[in-house]
Amino acid sequence: MKHLIYLTTLAFIVACQPATQNESTEQEAPAYQKPDHHSEYLTRVLDAHGGYEQWTKMKSLSYMKGDESTITNLQNRKIRLESPKQTIGFDGTDVWVTPDSVDTERTRFYHNLYFYFYAMPFVVGDPGAYYEEVAPRELNGTTYNGIKISYGENVGDAPDDNYIIWVNPDTNKMEWLMYTVTFRTGEATNNYKLIRYENWDTFSDLLLPTSIQWYNFDGSTVGEPRGEATIFENIALSTEAPEESLFEMPAGATIAPLNNAENM
């Protein structure tokens, strides 16, 4: 009987002890810290779109653009695009495309092109970016504040690309994007293209575009829209990472060369 009382008492004492390092305990996520390279004004813009902290919690982004589906691992930027014509992927090292009969000349340029436009303005919060506030300018009758984004050497496939996001001063929300394309030549240019962002919706507390519209632009005057707007559908953000197998290069796929691009 004494032994029974002793064992019962011992079990109670052990149960009341704090968990040791050897026991499995739930670890708290580290507190979010604002990236040191973000400018104060960029932070206000990102906050108006849901906040960079919320963006960093997301691990997967997917959407449909026409008959092409895209899924991206937001933590490592691996990506997979599928359409009736081809499947393109980035496995962290190489951009690949299948079937091998598909022209690969612009695949490297194309694989994350629309993701980058779609994920504005969060995507310009990436490491390696530099920010400069530029003089306000008028676009289609409204005056906007501007943030120019440039990149350090060896950041991405085209580090000489520049972006300017144009922000409504009343809302701090992005409404236009100007960008340069240097992928083909590798040379810096002041020949900016222009996209308007005016249709937004909220997904996982983040404001993301549901369409973007290219405009004719001569560097000073906004012209007519260039074709139809690009529509994004079936948009989904998740804190769960996509399966890594999605991004692995299948047998028979071709690695896309790092050269040539269409003039988007």
Alpha-carbon dihedral angle through residues 191, 157, 45, 43, given to the nearest 10 degrees: -130
List CB contacts of 251: < 8 A, sequence separation 6 or more: none
Q: What is the Cα–Cα distance from 18 to 131, expressed in whole angstroms?
A: 48
What does pLDDT average to in each consecutive run of 10 residues of the chain (264 residues)? 38 42 52 90 98 98 98 98 95 91 78 96 94 96 96 54 94 97 57 95 98 95 97 98 97 80 47
User: What does each C-alpha distance from 74 to 48, 86, 193 come to in angstroms?
Assistant: 20, 22, 26
Q: Which two tokens stand for residue 108?
A: 């490297």
Count CB neighbours of 99 within 10 A: 11
- Burial class of residue 190 in the structure, from the number of CB atoms within 10 Å of its CB (0-12 exposed, 13-18 middle, 19+ buried): exposed
Instruction: Using a cut of 0.95, tell me whether the model's pTM lies above it.
Output: no
- Burial class of residue 40 in the structure, from the number of CB atoms within 10 Å of its CB (0-12 exposed, 13-18 middle, 19+ buried): exposed
Helix segments in 58-144, DSSP class H: 107-110, 113-118
Q: Which two tokens stand for residue 232?
A: 């994004």
Residue 246, phi-psi category: left (phi > 0), alpha (psi -120 to 50), beta (remainder): alpha
Structure confidence at residue 189 (pLDDT): 59
Residue showing tokens 């001569």: 218
- Report the half-sphere exposure of 105 (CA within 13 A, side-chain side): 6
CATH topology of domain 37-255: outer membrane lipoprotein receptor (LolB), chain A (2.50.20)
Structure confidence at residue 1 (pLDDT): 41
Structure confidence at residue 145 (pLDDT): 98
Structure confidence at residue 233 (pLDDT): 98
Supply the DSSP symbol for 80. Answer: E
